[in-house]
Amino acid sequence: MDMKFTLAPEPDDASREKGRLLFAAPVEFLKGVVAMNGMPPADRLEVCFAGRSNVGKSSLINALTNRKNLARASNTPGRTQEINFFTTTDGPYLVDLPGYGYAEAPVPVVRKWQELLKAYLSGRVNLRRVFVLIDARHGVKAVDEEILKLLDRSAVTFQAVLTKADKISKTEREKVIAQVMAALAKHPASHPELVVTSSEKGEGVEILRTIIATLE
């Protein structure tokens, strides 16, 4: 496999405006789902955010939507126990998946989350892209590889998003980007553009908005 990975480019003005308008309109919490039969109708495109516990999924969703508390952020790993759906105005569903890898919960509960996660990723026909969040302080770890392999098997396109990029130095950033790109090159379902973000500083947020708004 010979894929060339790059950093996602800055959007052109028209695409940037499309992203701005999508997220300037109301975004609302729709429902939390604990089983496949509770999913909303697959009547529009859908993007989801996956990542190990405490990677910053909720913070990134809040930054994207300009809301402080749309998605609940927590310092306690494993707090998000449901698949949470959010509606955009005339746009896709945004979906916040349970964190994987670690959770302060009994083993049977964690196993149930994992089974729901696998069923969702394999069986949601309108799922256009999975954004796999990778903590910039740690890069791709073994627990991330498990979800990347699942996405390969499910033939669902995923795009890696580095979070918390403001927490590391420029030199460390270059090293982790290289590590992540090398890891992604092994996965045929991976989109070849990496997005680098900081929810606190706003870095990469416009790029991610544009990507979501221009999916077809």
In a domain, 55, yes or no: yes
pLDDT level of residue 110 (50, 70, 90 thresholds):
confident
Residue partners of 167: CB distance under 8 A and separation at least 6: 136, 137, 198
Of the given ranges (74-83, 94-103, 127-136), which has the lowest mean pLDDT?
74-83
> Which residue is listed with tokens 């998605």?
71
Q: What is the CATH number of the domain that holds 183?
A: 3.40.50.300
- Domain range for 125 is 6-213
How many separate domains does the chain show?
1
In a domain, 145, yes or no: yes
Determine the average pLDDT of the residues in 138-156.
Answer: 91
In a domain, 1, yes or no: no
Q: What is the DSSP string of 1-61?
A: --PPPEEPPPPPHHHHHHHHHHHHS--EEEEEESSGGGPPP--S-EEEEEEBTTSSHHHHH
Q: What is the pLDDT of residue 105?
A: 67
In a domain, 200, yes or no: yes
In a domain, 59, yes or no: yes
Q: Where are the alpha helices (DSSP H) in the chain?
A: 13-24, 57-65, 107-123, 142-154, 170-184, 205-213
Q: Identify which of 28, 50, 19 has the alpha carbon closest to the alpha carbon of residue 132.
A: 50
- Note the pLDDT tens digit of each residue in 169-198: 999 999 999 999 999 999 999 999 999 999
In a domain, 142, yes or no: yes
